[in-house]
Amino acid sequence: MLIFPTVVAAEIMHNYTFIILLLLKAALVNPFYLPGLTPVNFCPKEMEKPNCKSDIKVYVNRLNSKNTILDYEYHDFDFCLGNEHDDTPVENLGQVLFGERIRPSPYKINFLKNETCRLLCSKFYNRKVVTDVRKLRRLKHGITKGYYHHWIVDNLPVTFCVSHGVCFNGFPMGTTSLDIIGRSSRKNGYGEVYLFNHVDFIIEYRDLSHDPNYFDDPVGGRIISVKVVPSSLNHIKEDSLDCDNSEMLNLNDDFHDMKIIYTYSVKFLKTDIKWASRWDYILNSKSTTSIQWFGYSVKKQY
């Protein structure tokens, strides 16, 4: 009597049963993706659908400086705040381990919708109020110590580019007359202090509206890069904003009442760069780039 073929047949049936059970289990598992590794499609507002959103989220992170080892959270300064209850961001494991503190911002950006000199928020300070004076002093401290903002859009760092294609991860809170003209007109060593209360977003995207892969289900495009151009503008009133104003916002010490009005503009530019190559300009322009190799999604509750 031959037992061997029977044993082999039983083993094959066992393997098939295991594979079928594995496939059934996989079908019941909720799908997930690793943040930053899967492209996100964006559409104009009128074309928005579940797999192609219009709203582009801007997240803020902690501020740091090469002049000191002390980092600040975004909330430590009196900036415009987003709604953290309805829009809690997702942080990957690498960001959690490195101590990142990612928060939602109040910036409202819709795909392919350009904005010009849009109001973000305004802050009022009175010299007779101690807490107001402390808030302004902290802003000045952050600027004079060279602190940088670090924002995130579509899992990309928002960059600040200077001449010759050199881009930095983040952008400064402001500047001083020492930075501008190379000398100080005051005894404090840095001169006048100017806050960057306006940013121009320059968002490059790859157009997918005519891509043959999306003929049956058209989409708008994918974000390739997000750059900002910060500036200091002395706005007077919220209802008469002028972002072409050349007068800078000076955080002087002899103020009585001061109002800081924050504004922003958005401009979309089409590019032929593919989504898979969107990190190249950042990696090529930085001599020391910190890369996080952790991709597990962690939902943080604040």
Q: What is the pLDDT of residues 76-86, one digit of tens each?
A: 999 999 887 76
More confident residue, 192 or 295: 192
Tell me how far apart the alpha carbons of residues 173 and 60 are, in angstroms, rounded to a whole number.
13
Q: Are 148 and 196 in contact (CB under 8 A)?
A: no
Question: What spatial distance separates the first Cα and last Cα of the chain, rounded to whole Å?
Answer: 70
Give percent of the chain with pLDDT exceeding 70: 71
Mention every residue, 6+ apart, whose C-beta is less than 8 A from residue 58.
105, 107, 109, 151, 152, 153, 158
Reduced to 3 states (helix: H, G, I; strand: E, B; else coil), residue 209 is coil
Tell me how far apart the alpha carbons of residues 185 and 37 are, in angstroms, rounded to a whole number.
50
Tell me how far apart the alpha carbons of residues 292 and 93 are, in angstroms, rounded to a whole number.
9
- Long-range contacts of range 132-137, CB-CB < 8 Å, 24 or more positions apart? 135/77, 135/78, 136/78, 136/251, 136/255, 136/258
- Which pLDDT belongs to residue 43? 94
pTM: 0.79
Q: Which of 214-223, 240-249, 252-261, 278-287 has the lowest mean pLDDT?
A: 278-287
Tell me how far apart the alpha carbons of residues 223 and 39 are, in angstroms, rounded to a whole number.
9
Q: Which of 3-7, 211-215, 280-284 has the lowest mean pLDDT?
A: 3-7
Instruction: Give the amino acid at 144.
Output: T
